[in-house]
Amino acid sequence: MTIKLAMAATASFLAMSASAWAGQVVWWTPNFNEARARQLVETFQAANPGVTVKLETTTTDGLPQRILTALQSGAAPDVIDVQHAWVNGYAQNKLVVPLDEAVTQREDYIPAALQYNTWNGKLWGAPYRIETHAIIINRGDFKAVGLDPDKPPQTWEAFADAAKKLTVNGKSGFAITGGGEVGNTIFRSLPFMWMLGGGIISDDGKKVLVDSPESEKAVSFYTDFFKNHLSPSSTLENDGTANRRLFIAEKVSMYQSGQFDIQSIRKENPKIDIGVIPVPHPEGAKTAVILGGWSLVVPSSAKNPDEAKKLVAFLSKSENQAILTDTFPARISAMNAERFNDPILKVFKDMLPFGRPVPAHPNWVQISQAYFDGIQRILLGDESVKDAMDGAASEIEGLL
């Protein structure tokens, strides 16, 4: 999406944000958070009668560019929910303000969540949600083809073999993502590159890795599920939500996602016997996942930054994090809430120690887009893995 189109897409948001008055906090939060956010707004306003919170919901499709446009325009809201990986770039480009005074008791936070938000000795975002992916499976499908869901495949080779066996009777064995918001594909494919020692760029942000032999091997592993007809024919359009719907419709036996999908699956198709297994790894190597999640930022152009920081401090309380997130909270004590004791969450918890932050780079949004475009060229059959990753590397080199 071009800057011109992105600005047009956010025009209504910017107009509303620009009209904020004293004592009003305009808060952009994703639509999947809306019900919980409204609950917390009511509590906050009752305790702070001089402050009014105007909640505006966003959607994930095109969100990185939409937020960036708002921040660069000088007409941003007062508080925005953003993915952890975006915060560092905002800070380095002076688009957000420090939140050191709003985030206290930092010893109670998962260290990697704070690491995402730290630059130049200051904290530029308030992490409230963390998550990792695992593989969600239909245990009944496993049994139907002679696989034991209690002894799931652990290596890449065994996992690919399982996907082949599960691709029967019109079902796809393992659904990957190829469309939607860029983060869908980054979260699912980048960890495979890490497992082999590759990546998109190095952790210090100084070297391009996407065209290395290790990275290309991992990209081949990921995209081969589609090329070998083990992932749905709609893969090029599918994001994580689409894959969840296919799983619910029993058109897919396995897909990669977070715990936030479990409730929807249980509600929409309670007859599915849901299982969760670790993300597979290459023979002799360890698994890896992105430690993802969301943080709150206050733009440099916020109309009411003091009230905004007061809201951020309120949402950062342990008991409020336990309400706001639909995955795991960034604060350790918040994990003690009863809702996180569901046995099906165990594998997701077990994956947390394998979680890594994506590299902190001010151009990460553009870097990840270049990689995503390369993945799409592979899935379309326009380029080989090597040519696509060489092209992405050339584009990314200019962004470093």
How many angstroms separate the CA atoms of 164 and 254, rounded?
Answer: 11
How many angstroms separate the CA atoms of 339 and 332, rounded?
Answer: 14
CA dihedral angle for residue 235, residue 241, residue 246, residue 249, rounded to 10 degrees: -170
Q: Quick one: which H or E segment has residue 219?
A: helix 213-227
Q: Which of 35, 36, 79, 34 is nearest to 57 (CA)?
A: 34
How many angstroms separate the CA atoms of 127 and 82, rounded?
Answer: 9
pLDDT at 20: 52
Looking at the structure, tell me whether residues 32 and 153 fall in a common domain: no
> Which range marks the domain in which residue 19 is found?
3-131+293-356
Looking at the structure, tell me whether residues 155 and 256 fall in a common domain: yes
pLDDT at 361: 85
Looking at the structure, tell me whether residues 262 and 273 fall in a common domain: yes
Looking at the structure, tell me whether residues 127 and 164 fall in a common domain: no
If one counts the domains in the chain, the total is 2
Looking at the structure, tell me whether residues 286 and 297 fall in a common domain: no
Looking at the structure, tell me whether residues 179 and 251 fall in a common domain: yes
Looking at the structure, tell me whether residues 322 and 184 fall in a common domain: no
pLDDT at 68: 93
pLDDT at 360: 79
pLDDT in tens, the chain (400 residues): 343 444 444 444 444 444 456 689 999 999 999 999 999 999 999 999 999 999 999 988 788 889 999 999 998 999 999 999 889 889 999 999 999 999 999 999 988 889 889 999 999 999 999 989 999 999 999 999 999 999 999 999 999 999 999 999 999 999 999 988 888 999 999 999 999 999 999 988 999 999 999 999 999 999 999 999 999 999 999 999 999 999 999 999 999 999 989 999 999 999 999 999 999 999 999 999 998 899 999 999 999 999 999 999 999 999 999 999 988 999 999 988 988 888 999 999 889 889 888 887 888 889 999 999 999 999 999 999 999 999 999 999 999 9
Q: CB of 162 within 8 A of CB of 360?
A: no
How many angstroms separate the CA atoms of 267 and 397, rounded?
Answer: 46
Looking at the structure, tell me whether residues 308 and 367 fall in a common domain: no
Q: At residue 138, what is the residue type? A: N
Looking at the structure, tell me whether residues 268 and 371 fall in a common domain: yes
pLDDT at 273: 98
Looking at the structure, tell me whether residues 282 and 166 fall in a common domain: yes
Supply the CATH number for residue 284's domain.
3.40.190.10
Based on the number of CB atoms within 10 Å of its own CB, is 257 exposed (0-12), middle (13-18) or buried (19 or more)? Answer: buried
Looking at the structure, tell me whether residues 126 and 138 fall in a common domain: no
Looking at the structure, tell me whether residues 280 and 338 fall in a common domain: no
User: Taking each helix axis from N to C terminus, what angle separates 364-380 and 63-73, rounded to the nearest 10 degrees?
Assistant: 150
Phi-psi region of 105 (alpha: psi -120 to 50; beta: other; left: phi over 0): left
